[in-house]
Amino acid sequence: MARVGKVKVTRQSYLAMEIQGPGRHSSGKDYSCGGKKELVLTCRDVSSLVVDWLCDQARGQNTPVTCFYFDFAARKDQSATAMLGSLLKQIVSGMAAIPEDILRAFEEGKEAIGGRGPQLLDIVKMLQTITSPRRTFVCIDALDECAAVHRVKILDSLKQILEKSPRTRIFITGRPHIRAEMEKRLGGKVISVSLCPNKEDIIRYIRVRIGEDETPDAMNESLTADILEKIPKSVSEM
């Protein structure tokens, strides 16, 4: 996977990690790209450069690109089952035909008491099945916002998927404190890159956002200068 420089300006340094398969880096909304279905991938209405770049490269190659964003406010609801189920849904939605074993698993779930959906183990097996024969990209943003109890299950599940799907590549962003946990859970299959915005990047980003302001009359040269001075300074001190 090609390295992408500074993906977006954040208030803290982020750790970009690419996890490779054997032998070889949201609000919970569903997104998909590649195959028969293509959507513009955004994260809180801000375009993800990594995902957009992957979608451009994967266009016409039947290569699924999936994405999931962890939101601290929704961390109790974003379980391993919900997160991996979202990835499965994205991949399946782009397929011309849904594999019979996946259809069977969903039908069997409907017959259970209460019509329960597929369980975590079932979802992992289905992801192994549909990703093993082809290159698949999985982008996970803000993994550090995931509750620790869910993060353990997610990392263990991703490891199982990678063991059966050597062509799958996973790109994860998160604060540096999750590095050790990822290296432990994923068995040394992690390549990490520390990203920290510099002052020029921050100023360039602020200018773009000011230019997109829907109420331009509320901004004057004095206020613009004040913003360009104080925000970069406050970010650099964090």
pLDDT single digits (tens) 65-75 = 999 999 888 88
Instruction: Name the residue among 30, 10, 101 with its Cα closest to residue 41.
Output: 30
Cα separation of 18 and 187, whole Å?
13
Q: Can you give the pLDDT at residue 190? A: 81
pLDDT single digits (tens) 189-238 = 788 877 777 788 888 888 888 888 888 788 888 888 888 888 877 766 55
Asked if residues 192 and 17 have their Cβ atoms less than 8 Å apart, the reply is: yes
- Quick one: pLDDT band at residue 1, thresholds 50, 70, 90? very low
Q: Can you give the pLDDT at residue 86? A: 92
Entry pTM:
0.68
Q: Can you give the pLDDT at residue 95? A: 81
Cα separation of 208 and 23, whole Å?
42
pLDDT exceeds cutoff 60 at 139? yes
Q: Can you give the pLDDT at residue 233? A: 78
With 0-12 / 13-18 / 19 or more C-beta atoms within 10 angstroms meaning exposed / middle / buried, residue 172 is buried
Q: Can you give the pLDDT at residue 204? A: 87
CATH code given to domain 14-196: 3.40.50
pLDDT single digits (tens) 141-191 = 999 999 999 999 999 999 999 999 989 999 898 888 898 899 889 877 788
% of the chain exceeding 90 in pLDDT? 26
The structural domains of the chain, with segments of one domain joined by +, span 14-196, 198-238
Angle between helices 80-93 and 148-164 (to 10 degrees): 40
Mean of pLDDT values over 99-103: 79
Least confident of 79-93, 112-126, 147-161: 112-126
Burial call 204-224: b when 16+ CB within 10 Å, e when fewer: ebbeeeeeeeeeeeeeeeeee
Residue bearing the bigger pLDDT, 36 or 79: 79
